[in-house]
Structure 1
Amino acid sequence: MAIVDKDSAINYIQKLGNVSDREKLFSIYEEMPYQLIHDSPTIKHYTDWDLFDNLDLKIDYGSKKNLDSPLKDYKLISIANNIVEGTEVLDSPKNSGIDPKEHKLVALNLALAKKIIIDRPGKYFIYHYTDQELYSPINIEINVNDDITDIVYYSESFGKSMPSSTIYLKVGKDATVNFSTIVKGNSSYSFVYAKAEVDGSINSSIFASGSSQAHIEYKSILGSYSNASFNVKALGVKDNNIDIVSDVTHIGEKSVSTGSMKAVAANTSLTVIRGDAKVGETAHDSSTSIIGRAIMLGKESKAIVAPMLEVKTGRVITAKHSAAVSRVDEDLVFYLQNRGFDRKTAEGLIIRGFLNDENDISIVKEMVEKIISDLGY
């Protein structure tokens, strides 16, 4: 068993260009393990890769779907059941900033994906959708040299399906990028691998909920005088499994990063939020902060918070990290019940207060509200 049925993958490759390059990438995928080192807790995988490998999905063009952007002033680019609309599509298996050997599933994605490029400032809503039992890959490159660019990557899938994306961002020194990754599963599966090389400024947010298994990795590499912030949120309901990794590496002097990670685990879900903040030997006078918090509801829910810190220079302004995990505070529930709320409503208020941030984009606020309301809180 595998994520994609091999015969289906080989047949699909024949429909694309660069067949020999794609076949080599598919071989890399087959040969690579998910995990290279098994005994270090700092690189331990919390994703159950067997859940992916048991899918045995087909890959082909599915039925067309007319999608709308919930953010009306954003240009819509849609990938619906492997049909791309709203932009030029390149038949290329290469990504200029991400090597296929960085991850097993990156190699698979590049072997089977078409490519889109964004190289002009503006507002873009990338809607990645599948409602059929398909593997749906996309290869995205974003190159912004100046001005302000807002990009939302929104993945929505249903049942036994798996959208998969490889996203590379190059942010010039005169550019500011606001980059949001939203994964909305409906008992489905998802993989996102994103990397940003930053000489200017980037504000990133990640939100995931509803997936039977979601694995999201976001890596930012900071040059001199660059600035990066990231806001990570995982909301696990029912039997969700969500694993979000957000790493930042400082290689340039006087670079600054701040990271906030939050997770809620309810019912029998597992939510994992983790990341590594690294300050390299050449990143003199830099600052980094990575803070993780999680709450759990129900005896069978699990949450893991693992922010890590690695500093390789003695010339650092700030370097801090912290983590906390707890069950929902019974004293706080009791306090709210004494104010006239029933237990479910009280727990809902606590979740909302914990997850919601003032700077969240509207689509995330609406999703959080709907998910919590659907749970009866």
Structure 2
Amino acid sequence: MFIEREALKRLTYQKYGDSPTIKSYTKWKLFEENSPLKLPTEAKGGEVPIKGHIVLSGSDVEFSLPGGVELSEGTLGLSQPEESRILGFHFYALRKTYRLRITRDLVEPLVIVSHLSANAFISHHISIEAENVRAPIIIYDLTKEGTKSLVVELKAKNAELEVLTVGRHSSLSHYLLRASLGGGTRVKAFTVISAGEMSHHREDYSLEGAKSELILRGMPIAIGSSVDYLTNVLQYGERSKSETRVHGFSYENGWTVHRGVAKVLESARNSSSGVISQVTIMDEGSLGVSVPMLEVDTGEIESAFHSSAVRQFDEDALFYLRSRGLDSDEAMSLFVHGIGEALSSHLERLRSKARSNVRELIEGLL
């Protein structure tokens, strides 16, 4: 799974160039300038603000696994270093991989924390297997300094999973969640990203089994920062269902991009699929890009839909706040930062309430 330096040099960041329909919105030059070829690939663990069952900080790792979760080493093989230069960097810097197997229902969330607070290029890699279980999972992706790459592989069969991903970045971050959903699996996922200097966040879901289902909600937020958020859903299984809804925000010269793909293959008869993407631009100088794409290869389809919107901040809401004595900058700052406060309060309620689960958080944010 690892890659040699010479093989790494031959890889490109993407297979398609900047064409009228396919464009790179990730500032790859920043990753090139802060790659594992130029930065140290080991770092001491820092002070992690969140407790977890698996805490990876720098090159350090701590485990305090709950009952019903087994630990081993290795990957599920859902990602390969030859796919792209950024994944090549990930595997080049990777020192160890960890594999978790959920063997029974979990009442409280399994919490995974990936953290970096040093000027280095650090890779973390976690694989999760779940079969015939119900489980909530929270993934914290925290990058304060340096460049961190986190890859999460997920394989589920006849399982019901709730996955919350929280990205909080100050510097450079690469994230890949790649999931294979077998028959009878239902996944409800919510992702919120507070972008850093450049956050490249990608989620790939393959609905391979009959009646597999995915509900995906995303909220990328860039305040004086940049995020390129990619969601890819491939449906192979009959009567599978997927629905992706993303609402991003950009503010203070922020750069928020969502590119969402949903593809229903010929084998996925009687399925439904949809992608709704919108980005709200809060002020002049900020960038918002929404690129949803839908492809259906079968004529036997229940429903298929997609929509895109890039809009300015609601002037009526701005007028209301200004009528309460705030100027324009104060009103928009209150609105954007209020989103973060609302998310934080939900997270605190989730962490402190006994026998809580991720469904409560996700449904409260829809």
Q: TM-score, normalised by structure 2?
A: 0.83
Aligned to 1:116, which of 98, 111, 114? Answer: 98
- 2:357 match: none
- 1:83 match: 60
- 1:99 match: 80
Equivalent residue letter for 1:270: W
Aligned to 1:64, which of 41, 45, 53? Answer: 45
Aligned to 2:160, which of 176, 179, 182? Answer: 176
- 1:138 match: 124
- 1:152 match: 138
- 2:364 match: none
More deviation, 299-308/108-117: 108-117
- 1:190 match: 173
Establish whether residue 322 from structure 1 lines up as the match of residue 299 from structure 2: no
> Any idea what SS the aligned residue of 2:189 has?
strand
> Any idea what SS the aligned residue of 1:33 has?
coil
- 1:372 match: none
Distance 1:143 1:36, change over 3 A: same
Establish whether residue 290 from structure 1 lines up as the match of residue 275 from structure 2: yes
Per-residue deviation, 1:354: 7.6
Distance 1:156 1:101, change over 3 A: same
Per-residue deviation, 1:28: 3.5
The question of whether the paired residues in 2 share the 8 Å contact of 1:221 and 1:248 is answered with yes
Aligned to 2:7, which of 28, 31, 55? Answer: 28
Write out aligned runs for 1:338-357 (5 A): 338-348=323-333, 350-351=335-336
Distance 1:252 1:127, change over 3 A: same
Write out aligned runs for 1:137-286 (5 A): 137-159=123-145, 161-173=146-158, 175-186=159-170, 188-199=171-182, 200-222=185-207, 223-238=209-224, 240-286=225-271
1:303 and 1:155 mapped to 2: Cα distance?
Answer: 23
2:47 and 2:33 mapped to 1: Cα distance?
Answer: 30
Aligned alpha-carbon RMSD (Å): 2.8
> Any idea what SS the aligned residue of 1:235 has?
strand
2:45 and 2:332 mapped to 1: Cα distance?
Answer: 41
Equivalent residue letter for 1:58: L
The question of whether the paired residues in 2 share the 8 Å contact of 1:29 and 1:105 is answered with no
1:23 and 1:340 mapped to 2: Cα distance?
Answer: 59
Distance 1:191 1:364, change over 3 A: farther
Distance 1:95 1:28, change over 3 A: farther
The question of whether the paired residues in 2 share the 8 Å contact of 1:28 and 1:104 is answered with no
The question of whether the paired residues in 1 share the 8 Å contact of 2:3 and 2:81 is answered with no
Per-residue deviation, 1:61: 3.5
> Any idea what SS the aligned residue of 2:86 has?
helix
1:364 and 1:103 mapped to 2: Cα distance?
Answer: 39
4+ runs deviating over 6 angstroms: 87-91, 352-358
1:351 and 1:308 mapped to 2: Cα distance?
Answer: 28
> Any idea what SS the aligned residue of 1:268 has?
coil
2:313 and 2:193 mapped to 1: Cα distance?
Answer: 20
1:352 and 1:46 mapped to 2: Cα distance?
Answer: 24
> Any idea what SS the aligned residue of 2:12 has?
coil
Distance 1:308 1:170, change over 3 A: same
1:317 and 1:357 mapped to 2: Cα distance?
Answer: 36
Task: Provide Cα deviations, 1:121-156, integer angstroms capped at 9, x if missing partner.
Answer: 543221111111011101211110022122222121
2:267 and 2:237 mapped to 1: Cα distance?
Answer: 6
> Any idea what SS the aligned residue of 1:131 has?
strand
- 1:7 match: none
2:342 and 2:306 mapped to 1: Cα distance?
Answer: 20
Distance 1:146 1:43, change over 3 A: farther
Distance 1:49 1:89, change over 3 A: farther
**Structure 1: stretches of 5+ with no match in the other structure:** 1-20, 367-377
- 2:358 match: none
The question of whether the paired residues in 2 share the 8 Å contact of 1:216 and 1:245 is answered with yes
Per-residue deviation, 1:346: 3.6
Per-residue deviation, 1:58: 2.5
The question of whether the paired residues in 1 share the 8 Å contact of 2:46 and 2:117 is answered with no
Q: TM-score, normalised by structure 1?
A: 0.81
Distance 1:328 1:339, change over 3 A: same
Distance 1:357 1:108, change over 3 A: same
The question of whether the paired residues in 1 share the 8 Å contact of 2:3 and 2:91 is answered with no
